[in-house]
A = this chain, B = another copy of it.
Amino acid sequence: MRFTFEVLVTLKPGLADPQGKAVEGALPALGWTNVSGLRVGKHVRLEVEAADEAAGRAQVDEMARRLLSNPVIEDYRILAAEPT
C-alpha cells in the first residue's frame, strides 16, 4: 500500500532564525503588529510503499532523522499518514 506522510522540520528552540526574523520584520509595514515568535522551517511531503502504516511511519522517521533534518539543530515531527 502507498501512504502519504508529511514531515515538519523546525529549528530547535533557542537557535537564531534569521529568515523568521526577516519575515517577522516585514509584518508591521503591512499593518500586523500583534505577531511574535515567527519561525520558518521545512515541510516535506512524500509517498512510501509499505505493508502498513506503522512500517511506513518507521521508515519516514528514520529518513527524517538521517536525511531530512539535521538533528544537531533541528527537530522534526511526522503528520498523520493518508493511504493513497
Q: Which residues of A contact B (CB under 8 A)?
A: 4, 6, 8-10, 20, 23-24, 26-27, 30, 32, 34-50, 59, 63, 66-68
Contact A40 B41 (CB under 8 A): no
Which 4 A-B pairs give the minimum distances between C-beta atoms?
A41-B43, A34-B49, A38-B46, A37-B47
Interface of A is mostly: strand
Copies of this chain in the oligomer: 2
Partner of A59, one of B10, B32, B42: B32
A26-B67, A27-B63 given as contacts; is B34 within 8 A of A40 (CB)?
A: no
Q: Which residues of B contact A32 (CB under 8 A)?
A: 59, 63
Q: How far is the CB of A78 from chain B (nearest CB, A)?
A: 13
Contact B34 A45 (CB under 8 A): no
